[in-house]
Structure 1
């Protein structure tokens, strides 16, 4: 779901209308890639398009590229704040977290870190998308349009996390009240968040061949470089030794693959490390 907040707009609702509590323009999209959501998949059944990897899209392209283009060309320019509520889908289980891209200026970066603290996820991280996503995501497109963008990862594994749902509701209310949109909403104070970052490609473990994935670590676990990450077994080749995988760097396991069957290139793990706030400020000064 994407929530986009735009400039002040007069409201036509009366005092008895719940909409009377909303100030400014608020766009809510329960399902941006509706065909994929209806099919319970990350990619669209219409064209196998992964919307989160197709921004800025193409007005004359595939259906998913057209959705990305419409969002990028029409919706995002109307917003000055975008909140994109994600989970790990079918393939990944994520620690409850919120993330932002690095700000392009010191001021923008500090505003983004403030959004993370305001949302109040247990884990918050800064990532430019290296290792997955890059400039193809809604957050990157929103940033190009001049909007602040906050993304969440709230569970996954094709299940509904009640903790993730609660965090989405309370965190979003805090953000919307802070922005002057839900002026009279009662909100809970944000819990402290652990600020982290993703250190490039070495933070990821990918499957190098098709087989059955046996994990050796779990979500939220602290691991060290060289530690066993898991094995890939090959049931169709019983004489072949399992492939052993190790973590290339140290950190906290942010997500882990859920299905046992993995194909070449599937993400098995992603790690995060604590953000050095002082060094981060100096980098964006």
Structure 2
């Protein structure tokens, strides 16, 4: 229950106006027995209407969404809003402050921790608060991701398959409006599955969209621009920012991830030499890359191939790799077009 959460905030979600403060995440250490860690939060409310929960920093080393949400939080006035914006640019603040995917407090991956636990680890407490306090208020949830330190990603938006034909069509409409070059539909196979923020939000009935805006722990200007423009289109469509000026969305290519065969993983520790780049079209049996072994100079490199055909959606960024690391993920076209939909 929401009342069990240990996190608290002075922000009143029902009050009109713009409030900027933070959640207080209790954390007791040697030097701070009754301390708390701030999780930045902005609530902008005006009158009645839908609520959008906008999140970045779910992983701390993904930056386009963090900046896009800070820009939005500064620029939007309450009189522009019909309803409520809840903006969280650094949801996993300990990871954001450290520039890491996971939290330095407990090594927790927030996007693998939902629905969380009220009295769990710091990461589990954050997930629980989002699930039990914030998601029930939300009609629309947008979780802005990038590839972080380990992956370079083609700019894309994604949704989980709708639980009904009607919900699925609504989700496809969000993808068209967001206007990423690539839009894909995935149940999280190979990633977080049912433990992600998106899965938890969908379970509670919110329309939910996630992004991949770049990678390599670098800031992509194109990814930032896409995040800002796409958010405005979604918020205007939901009538939360009814009068905001928007540019029309670019066409998007609908794709999907076809299970574990879409992934290439390292089978040994070594130095990764890729044979394909993000955005490349590849075929089954094509060379994906080689793993070299500097500690064994006479050992032949290990060659890896793609199991299936598709578009290279992401590629490992660091060259040093270990057994089990994801090197590539492929996406395949679906029969969803710009003006029609199917339940992929």
TM-score scaled to structure 1, two decimals? 0.92
Write the distance in 2 (CA, Å) between the matches of 1:272 and 1:202. Answer: 10
Which residues of 2 match residues 252-271 of structure 1 at below 5 A?
Answer: 252-271=311-330
Deviations 1:195-226 (A, max 9, x none): 11110000011112221111000000000000
Match of 1:13 in 2: none
Q: Is the 8 A contact 2:183 2:255 kept in 1?
A: yes
Aligned-pair distance for 1:7?
A: 11
Provide structure 2 residue ranges, at least 5 long, that are not aligned to the other structure. Answer: 1-39, 50-75
Query: 1:103 aligned to 143, 151, 162, which one?
Result: 162
Query: Which of 207, 210, 221 is matched with 2:280 structurally?
Result: 221
Task: Tell me if the contact between 1:6 and 1:80 (Cα under 8 Å) persists in the aligned partners.
Answer: no
Higher relative contact order by CA 8 Å / sep ≥ 6: 1 or 2?
1
After superposition, give the CA deviation of every residue in 1:117-157 in whole Å (9 maximum; x if it has no partner): 00000100000111111001110000011101000000010
Q: Is 1:200 the counterpart of 2:239 in the alignment?
A: no
C-alpha contact (below 8 Å) 2:44/2:81 kept by paired residues? no
The 3 A distance-change label for structure 1 pair 112 and 77 is same
Give yes or no for contact 1:257–1:267 (8 Å, CA) kept in 2: yes
Identify which range, 104-113 or 78-87, moves more after superposition. 78-87
Does residue 135 (structure 1) correspond to residue 194 (structure 2)? The answer is yes
In structure 2, how many angstroms separate the alpha carbons of the residues matched to 1:30 and 1:50? Answer: 17
Q: Which residue of 1 aligns with 2:29?
A: none
Q: Is the 8 A contact 2:46 2:81 kept in 1?
A: no
Kindly indicate whether residue 185 of structure 2 is the aligned counterpart of residue 126 of structure 1: yes
Equivalent-residue separation in structure 2 for 1:3 and 1:224 (angstroms)? 46
- Rate the CA distance shift 1:193–1:282 in 2: closer, same or farther, 3 A: closer
The farther-off stretch of 133-142 and 204-213 is: 204-213
Query: In the alignment, is the contact (CA less than 8 A) between 1:44 and 1:64 conserved in 2?
Result: yes
Alpha carbons of structure 1 residues 193 and 206: separation in structure 2 relative to 1, 3 Å: same
TM-score, normalising length: structure 2: 0.77
- Cα distance in 2 for partners of 1:7, 1:234 equals 60
Match of 1:165 in 2: 224
1:150 lines up with 2:150 in the alignment: no
Ranges in structure 1 where 5+ consecutive residues have no aligned partner: 11-16
Aligned to 2:269: 210
Kept in 1, the 8 Å contact 2:198–2:209? The answer is yes
The superposition leaves residues 86-120 of structure 1 with CA deviations (integer Å, 9 ceiling, x where unpaired) of: 10001101110000000000000000000000000
